């Protein structure tokens, strides 16, 4: 049993891992299953090539000692496997800043339209979330217990049953098939709707609470989960799936249960829990950080600058057409396309989830040549002369001046493409502090007046 999580920074290597070969093999097999059978928790580009092998973790062995080391990929979040907790932290933070990193991850995901994560309210309190999975389970346990104990959920549910007297309405087809055909004319098959506490929603909550007792480590959390199971003692113990959550319609008088149902769906999704074993101790939440970064910037721009720009995310176009068929090929997808509502000028924005490291003597300012080629093609195809590369700053890293590159050509008719690299502050003491710092940077990047 491991009590303390192993913290990894994405793309970094953790040396000297104390795991046996059997443990590594079991973890690898579990992650391969997660990857192969996942129900996506986020909207991924369907054209992205997917590997057969899981991309979350890589085990590297020392050629001399044979000692295993662990390397994280581009996915951030956590993995719980048989008492072992591995947390993958965004590369904007150090591995000992787990609480700070996961708080920021929650802030960023709150702006995302492609990631469905029902735990944004986790930040409303003073929860310490250095152990991310434990924090999620604790939040669910407290929320669900408060809900079930103060507002028990009853619902009219249709039941079909055979009885000697009429209740509700007669199910004629079932009565003919199951009773009359057998000579049991006195056995009426009835459809009726009693007001039940033993309904599908309560069955889902009880099932999830019982499952999470095998995953949580804190006594207070375990106690709240046990209280939920006790309060739902009259509810049947039935296995549930994420698809069952989709079939439940919550009455408008119990709207808080919608949030509870969203959390249950999260815990029941194939990617994040293993339903094959009632005593399962596997659980994970992993999302690609580049998607989170892009959605966060898009959300900020739409929310705070949408009065000035028409904001199009994931704008699709093609670079060329084949001859002689004219079929469009070489598809491009711009992260953000801004169209000024006043003058219709188009600005191409590309979010690069890379921490630029460069010296003052580096004329390329830490920008790869491939990225510059890409931005030139974007500007040409979108008929834009203003292209932005937006890079995140590491936590407490000082911002640098905007670096501008000018691409000229006789084909551009004396209208060069201006490509600017801008560093953005994504971290702060609170979400509002981040927005207050980030907005002036975006305003300057988009060449807007400071009062826009």
Write phi, then psi, for 196 (nearest 5 degrees): -105, 140
Q: What is the pLDDT of residue 205?
A: 95
Single pTM value for the model: 0.81
Q: What is the mean pLDDT of the chain?
A: 85
In the DSSP assignment, the letter for residue 83 is: T
Task: Give residue-wise pLDDT tens across range 154-208.
Answer: 887 777 889 898 888 889 999 999 898 888 988 999 988 777 888 899 999 999 9
Task: Look at residue 348 and tell me whether its pLDDT is greater than 90.
Answer: yes
| CA–CA dist 67, 433 (Å, integer) | 44
Write phi, then psi, for 85 (nearest 5 degrees): -120, 120
| CA–CA dist 69, 62 (Å, integer) | 8
Task: Give residue-wise pLDDT tens across range 3-16.
Answer: 578 899 999 988 87
- Determine the average pLDDT of the residues in 231-243: 90
Q: Are strands 84-89 and 6-9 parallel, antiparallel or unpaired?
A: parallel
Buried b (16+ CB within 10 A) or exposed e, 412-444: eeeeebbbbbbbbbbbbeebeebeebbbebbbe
pLDDT bracket for residue 37 (50, 70, 90): low
Q: Are strands 386-392 and 346-351 parallel, antiparallel or unpaired?
A: parallel
| CA–CA dist 426, 430 (Å, integer) | 10
Ordered structural domains, the chain, with CATH:
1-110+278-287 (no CATH), 158-193 (no CATH), 306-445 (3.40.1350)
Task: Look at residue 53 and tell me whether its pLDDT is greater than 60.
Answer: yes
Q: What is the pLDDT of residue 129?
A: 74
Task: Give residue-wise pLDDT tens across range 301-310.
Answer: 999 999 999 9
Task: Look at residue 1 and tell me whether its pLDDT is greater than 50.
Answer: no
Q: What is the pLDDT of residue 272?
A: 47
Task: Look at residue 91 and tell me whether its pLDDT is greater than 50.
Answer: yes
CB within 8 A of 431, min separation 6: which ones? 107, 110, 123
């Amino acid at each position: 049993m491991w009590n303390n999580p192993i913290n990894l920074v994405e793309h970094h290597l953790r040396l000297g891992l104390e795991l046996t070969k059997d443990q590594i093999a079991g973890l690898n097999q579990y992650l391969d299953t997660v990857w192969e059978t996942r129900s996506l928790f986020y909207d991924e580009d369907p054209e992205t090539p997917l590997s057969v092998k899981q991309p979350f973790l890589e085990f590297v062995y020392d050629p001399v000692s044979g000692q295993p080391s662990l390397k994280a990929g581009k996915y951030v979040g956590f993995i719980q496997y048989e008492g072992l907790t591995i947390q993958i932290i965004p590369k904007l933070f150090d591995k000992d800043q787990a609480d700070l990193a996961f708080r920021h991850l929650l802030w960023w995901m709150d702006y995302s339209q492609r990631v469905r994560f029902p735990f944004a309210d986790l930040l409303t309190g003073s929860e310490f979330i250095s152990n991310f999975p434990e924090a999620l389970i604790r939040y669910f346990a407290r929320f669900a217990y408060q809900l079930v104990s103060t507002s028990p959920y009853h619902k009219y549910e249709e039941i079909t049953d055979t009885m000697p007297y009429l209740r509700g309405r007669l199910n004629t087809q079932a009565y003919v098939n199951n009773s009359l055909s057998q000579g049991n004319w006195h056995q009426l098959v009835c459809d009726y709707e009693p007001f039940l506490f033993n309904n599908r929603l309560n069955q889902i909550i009880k099932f999830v609470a019982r499952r999470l007792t095998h995953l949580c480590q804190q006594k207070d959390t375990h106690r709240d989960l046990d209280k939920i199971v006790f309060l739902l003692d009259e509810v049947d113990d039935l296995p549930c799936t994420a698809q069952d959550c989709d079939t439940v319609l919550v009455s408008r008088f119990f709207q808080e249960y919608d949030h509870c149902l969203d959390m249950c769906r999260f815990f029941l999704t194939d990617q994040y829990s293993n339903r094959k074993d009632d005593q399962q101790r596997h659980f994970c939440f992993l999302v690609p950080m580049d998607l989170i970064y892009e959605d966060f910037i898009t959300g900020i721009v739409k929310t705070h600058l949408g009065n000035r720009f028409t904001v199009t995310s994931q704008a699709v176009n093609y670079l060329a057409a084949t001859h002689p068929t004219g079929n469009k090929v070489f598809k491009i997808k711009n992260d953000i396309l801004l169209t000024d509502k006043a003058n219709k000028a188009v600005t191409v924005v590309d979010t690069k989830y890379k921490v630029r490291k460069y010296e003052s003597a580096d004329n390329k300012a830490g920008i790869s040549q491939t990225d510059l080629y890409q931005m030139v093609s974007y500007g040409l195809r979108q008929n834009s002369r203003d292209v932005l590369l937006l890079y995140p700053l590491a936590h407490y890293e000082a911002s640098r001046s905007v670096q501008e590159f000018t691409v000229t050509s006789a084909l551009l008719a004396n209208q060069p493409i201006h490509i600017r690299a801008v560093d953005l502050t994504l971290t702060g003491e609170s979400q509002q502090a981040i927005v207050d710092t980030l907005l002036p940077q975006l305003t300057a990047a988009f060449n807007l007046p400071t009062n826009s």
